[in-house]
Amino acid sequence: MRDVVRLVWFDLKQELRPPVWIVMEWVTFGIQLFVYGAIISQLVSGISNYQQFYAAGFVVMMTFEVGSHSGRHFVEHAHDGLLPYLLSLPISRSKLFLAITLQGGAELALMITVPLIITLSLIGNLTAISVVAAIVTLFCLGFGIAGFMLGLSFIAFKSSDVYSAVTIVMSTVVIRFSTVLYPFIFLPPSYASVAIFSPLTYGADLFRLLLGFDPSMLLSPTVAVAVIAALMATTLGLGMFLLQRLVEGVKSA
Amino acid sequence: MIAVETQKLVKRYGKTFALKGLDFSVEEKEIMVLLGPNGSGKTTLLLILATVLKPTSGMAKVMGLEVTKQPTQVRRVLGISFQDARGFWRHKPAEILRFHAAMCGVRKTESATLIEETLKMLELWDARNKLFMHLSGGQAKRLEVAKLLIQRPKFAIFDEPSSQVDLRGKRAIWEQILRLREEGSTILVATNEVREAEYLADRVTILDLGERVTCDTVHNLKDKITGGDIVELELEQPQEDAEIPQDLSEIPGTVKLMQTGKGMYKAYVSMAEAWVPKMTSLCYEKKIRVSSVRVTEPSLDDVFLHFTGKKLESQANA
């Protein structure tokens, strides 16, 4: 396991160099929450405190972005030639995949720590168990999205431009057609019929439920747990399969 | 003892065959050079041996371990220096080497000294605190080679180890590769540079279009070229002897003889080291003084041309 930790730490250090971008993400969160969120909250009448709802949604959006970044990170590794180097290191493929996944998890933890603390203090009135459960939900969602994006990144071995274009459109569609920014009960039927297939809908609703939001606005937590668990299991399996596939076929960059 | 072996090794990318049933072997503690133009299958073979790629079919063994069945064990006995420098863009050379050494099980107490020595030897010491992305192409390449010099694996693979490196740097890299072999490593070098192959090789395998064309020592390969050696002679003849050209042509191993001036001849021979003594005996018998002899060996480029009908260096530079 020492090799896995070493690999995660080394790759993470590279991501944090320079660390200014992670701080900028926190600043963006603060501005969005305390300027946009605060003002829009006064205009929204259907929810008692939209700023809190928006804060939780923004943390889920950040989770999606970090998960999505893991896929891009993988593509970059393939294109800058680092992946063959990683594949030649004297560790097993499963440990390598674990390291890639944990690196994504560690990046997620770093990215959302400050926004999460701000969100929790804004909401207040929380129990330790619900906070831990909320964090676990975000991690599962992040891993699931990272696994999905790793799968999607496979198409990028022919073109990283196609990958970037697809992920930009995807993130716009997946976030807007979900309950990240608005409760399910307020969605028009046509939007709701799409949102019900978005994993972000379940991630956001489960996260909010654990933070103590009104359950009447949210989808069934049992279904949400099942969807998140299934997403994580299938996409991680898919990622592992693709890594093997990569070893078998894709030409070195 | 055989350190590396492949049998009927095939690698296919879609409809293109990179390797077409390759049979190949490397003896323990030798430097085997794979010589071939771009697209001949050299890098594909190296990546299969390093377990980065899986073969489509066939068998490949490294130190008795099958690459498809025991890949993790194979990776523990080998190291690879890639054709293109592989780096963590935002790390520094010293950090990259420390990481590589740790991942490959080099003890921390040893690695610090080894890293300093290697960085100095490859003239990277001044660049040790630069980020990888700020290194020049030659520096990045030298860093790639440095990884293996620190790891000192049982089986070391170098893919074009001195490409993009200046002449002084090339010499330093070659010396270190020879040193690695002296310390007991088995070495496989892929290159399309004739000078590199001639400097390093114990044996050379010529690859072309995914197939092994021939394999032997540099000396034997050159000897296999009929008329590959060129002997330029200058004889001091008081008067023109009409029999001399005929006599020289009849020396065994003579492929072609041309008179280039008065008493001057150019002979294309199969093995100059056998031909020259016979020529001097002949001249001694005929009381002719040999004022100069110049022997030119064929290059590996000539060898490649002989076996494949193509020029290697023109393809490499194309």
Smallest CA–CA distance, residue B270 to chain A, in Å, is 42
- B interface with A, Cβ–Cβ < 8 A, is 13, 43, 47, 50-54, 71-72, 75-76, 79-80, 82, 84-91, 99, 102-105
Instruction: For residues B208 and A30, give the distance between their C-alpha atoms in angstroms, rounded to a whole number.
Output: 61
Instruction: For residues B78 and B158, give the distance between their C-alpha atoms in angstroms, rounded to a whole number.
Output: 11
Of A11, A14, A84, the CB nearest to B82: A84
Task: From chain B, pick out residues whose CB is under 8 angstroms from the CB of A1.
Answer: none
Task: From chain A, pick out residues whose CB is under 8 angstroms from the CB of B134.
Answer: none
CB–CB of B86 and A17 under 8 A? Answer: no
What is residue A43's predicted lDDT score, i.e. its pLDDT? 92
Residue A188, chain B, CB below 8 Å: the answer is no
pLDDT digits (tens, 9 = 90+) for B291-302: 999 988 777 878
DSSP B162: T
Question: Which of the four pLDDT bands, split at 50, 70 and 90, describes residue B116?
Answer: very high
Question: Which of the four pLDDT bands, split at 50, 70 and 90, describes residue B318?
Answer: very low
Closest CA to B118 of B95, B99, B145: B145
Q: Where do the domains of chain B lie?
A: 2-222, 226-297
Whether the CB-CB separation of B242 and B263 falls below 8 Å is answered with no
* A95 to chain B: closest CA residue: B72
Whether the CB-CB separation of B32 and B218 falls below 8 Å is answered with no
Query: Where in the sequence is the domain holding A181, given as residue range(s)?
Result: 2-249
Smallest CA–CA distance, residue A15 to chain B, in Å, is 8
B-facing residues of A in 25-44 (CB < 8 A) are none
CB–CB of B13 and A93 under 8 A? Answer: no
Mutate one of A20, A82, A88 to test the B interface: name it (highest B CB count within 10 A): A88
Smallest CA–CA distance, residue B47 to chain A, in Å, is 8
3-state secondary structure A167-217: HHHHHHHHHHCCCCCCCHHHCCHHHHHHHCCCHHHHHHHHHHHHCCCCHHH
Of B13, B50, B102, the CB nearest to A88: B50
- The size of the A-B interface in CB pairs under 8 A is 70
What is residue A160's predicted lDDT score, i.e. its pLDDT? 65
Asked if the model's pLDDT at residue B177 lies above 70, the reply is yes
Query: Could you tell me how many residues make up chain B?
Result: 318
CATH of domain B226-297: 3.30.70.100
pLDDT digits (tens, 9 = 90+) for B83-107: 888 778 788 999 999 999 999 999 8
Smallest CA–CA distance, residue A96 to chain B, in Å, is 11
Of A17, A91, A252, the CB nearest to B52: A252
Per-position DSSP letters for B184-240, written without gaps between them: T-EEEEEES-HHHHHHH-SEEEEEETTEEEEEE-HHHHHHTSTT-EEEEEEEE-SS-
What is residue B45's predicted lDDT score, i.e. its pLDDT? 94
| DSSP-derived 3-state class of residue B1 | coil
Smallest CA–CA distance, residue B81 to chain A, in Å, is 9
Domain B2-222 has CATH 3.40.50.10380: no
Of B13, B85, B103, the CB nearest to A90: B103
What is residue B1's predicted lDDT score, i.e. its pLDDT? 84
Indicate the number of domains in chain A: 1
**Is the dihedral angle over the CA atoms A192, A197, A203, A207 positive or is it negative?**
positive
Element (H, E) at B18: strand B16-27
Smallest CA–CA distance, residue A127 to chain B, in Å, is 41
Task: From chain A, pick out residues whose CB is under 8 angstroms from the CB of B87.
Answer: 82
Closest CA to B143 of B155, B166, B161: B161
Task: From chain B, pick out residues whose CB is under 8 angstroms from the CB of A97.
Answer: none
In sequence order, the 6+-apart residues with CB closer than 8 A to the CB of B175 are none
List average pLDDT for each run of 10 residues in chain A, which is 253 residues long: 88 78 90 94 88 93 84 71 87 84 82 88 80 84 80 64 78 89 89 89 90 83 89 79 61 37
pLDDT digits (tens, 9 = 90+) for B199-228: 999 999 999 889 998 899 988 888 777 667
Mutate one of B88, B108, B144 to test the A interface: name it (highest A CB count within 10 A): B88
Whether the CB-CB separation of B194 and B312 falls below 8 Å is answered with yes
Asked if the model's pLDDT at residue B121 lies above 80, the reply is yes
Q: Write down the residue that tokens 């906070």 correspond to.
A: A131
Count of Cβ atoms closer than 10 Å to residue A110 Cβ: 17
| DSSP-derived 3-state class of residue B266 | strand
Mutate one of B42, B86, B131, B135 to test the A interface: name it (highest A CB count within 10 A): B86
Task: State the average pLDDT for chain B.
Answer: 88
